[in-house]
């Protein structure tokens, strides 16, 4: 595309004038019939496609040691659903704590209650905190050691904690604070043992300690929850974490 001249010369007075005027500003002589067309802007350039924002690919098997991304936490989810189902059943007022197997006093020979009382809650706030902790650490344990290990730690920790409460005559002993502390303790012990082996995973330990402290202090605000159940569950979970950790270096 040709560009316009910088100036034109008036034929009458020989003055240099702008190419964008039609009459000479010095003598009034008509220079041209019409001024050249002024180009506006630059010719339109082809639009570039907007680059897509970078995204991380899906986690592959073996990419992070000890983590199985394809594992779905079915056992953890089933345990939470079971606890919620018992709560819904009790909300109908047709089912009592005794009927769902809760430990509200001496149990005699009904030792099966140390397992069933894990799913019995009498306080909505306690149930929420406990189930959230189970969801978080049950998920981690299940993805690292498998569903059988997660379910076994949950039941063993909860039952051991309830049994300790019965042994020291600490009643009532409702809820799964022992089971939740067992899962949390197993995860912490495994993480610390991995750190000692030189495997730094970068986990948020402060958050885990805060949740653990909250679970231990639940009996302060809910008298239906046993402090000894939490201690017993944490001890069993820590032992399980120490036993399983060397199996998944």
d(Cα 238, Cα 182) in Å, to the nearest integer? Answer: 7
Instruction: Determine how many CB atoms are found less than 10 A away from the CB of residue 141.
Output: 31
- CA angle 2/25/6 to nearest 5° reads 20
User: Is residue 14 one of the residues assigned to a domain?
Assistant: no
Average predicted confidence (pLDDT) for the chain: 85
Residues 40-97: tens digit of each pLDDT:
555 555 566 665 655 545 545 444 444 455 568 999 999 999 999 999 999 998 999 9
Q: What is the pTM of this model?
A: 0.72
Is it true that the peptide bond before 115 is cis, omega within 30 degrees of 0? no
Q: Where are the beta strands (DSSP E) in 1-157?
A: 8-9, 16-17
Domain of 96, in residue numbers:
74-247
Question: Which of 172, 151, 152 has its CA nearest to residue 162?
Answer: 172
- CA angle 149/150/152 to nearest 5° reads 65
User: Is residue 21 one of the residues assigned to a domain?
Assistant: no
**Residue 86: CATH number of its domain:** 1.20.1540.10
User: Is residue 115 one of the residues assigned to a domain?
Assistant: yes
User: Is residue 167 one of the residues assigned to a domain?
Assistant: yes
Determine contact, residues 76/135, Cβ cutoff 8 Å: yes
Residues 21-31: tens digit of each pLDDT:
777 777 767 76
Q: Which residues contact 9 (CB under 8 A, 6 or more apart)?
A: 15, 16, 17
pLDDT of residue 231: 97
d(Cα 34, Cα 150) in Å, to the nearest integer? Answer: 88
pLDDT of residue 57: 52
Q: What is the total count of domains within the chain?
A: 1
pLDDT of residue 18: 75
User: Is residue 51 one of the residues assigned to a domain?
Assistant: no
Determine contact, residues 105/148, Cβ cutoff 8 Å: no
Percentage of residues of the chain with pLDDT beyond 90 = 64
Determine contact, residues 79/138, Cβ cutoff 8 Å: yes
Query: Can you give the length of the chain in residues?
Result: 249
User: Is residue 243 one of the residues assigned to a domain?
Assistant: yes
Q: How many CA atoms lie within 13 A of 160 on its CB side?
A: 23
d(Cα 41, Cα 75) in Å, to the nearest integer? Answer: 66
Residue 9: both structure tokens together: 């010369």
d(Cα 40, Cα 237) in Å, to the nearest integer? Answer: 76
Band (215; pLDDT cuts 50, 70, 90)? very high
User: Is residue 29 one of the residues assigned to a domain?
Assistant: no
User: Is residue 100 one of the residues assigned to a domain?
Assistant: yes
């Amino acid at each position: 595309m040709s560009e316009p001249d910088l100036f034109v010369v008036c034929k009458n007075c020989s003055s240099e004038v702008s190419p964008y005027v039609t009459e000479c500003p010095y003598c009034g002589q008509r220079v041209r019939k019409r001024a050249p067309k002024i180009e506006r802007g630059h010719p339109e350039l082809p639009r570039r496609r907007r680059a897509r924002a970078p995204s991380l690919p899906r986690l592959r098997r073996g990419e992070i040691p000890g983590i199985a991304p394809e594992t779905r936490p079915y056992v953890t989810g089933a345990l939470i659903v079971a606890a919620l189902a018992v709560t819904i059943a009790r909300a109908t007022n047709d089912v009592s704590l005794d009927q769902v197997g809760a430990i509200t006093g001496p149990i005699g020979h009904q030792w099966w209650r140390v397992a069933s009382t894990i799913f019995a809650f009498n306080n909505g706030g306690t149930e929420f905190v406990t189930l959230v902790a189970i969801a978080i650490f049950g998920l981690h344990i299940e993805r690292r050691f498998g569903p059988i290990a997660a379910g076994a730690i949950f039941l063993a920790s909860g039952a051991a904690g309830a049994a300790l409460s019965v042994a020291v005559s600490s009643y009532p002993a409702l809820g799964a604070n022992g089971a939740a502390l067992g899962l949390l303790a197993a995860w912490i012990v495994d993480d610390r043992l991995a750190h000692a082996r030189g495997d730094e995973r970068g986990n948020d330990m402060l958050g885990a300690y805060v949740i653990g402290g909250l679970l231990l202090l639940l009996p302060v605000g809910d008298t239906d929850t046993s402090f000894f159940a939490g201690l017993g569950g944490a001890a069993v979970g820590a032992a399980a974490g120490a036993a399983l950790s060397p199996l998944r270096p």
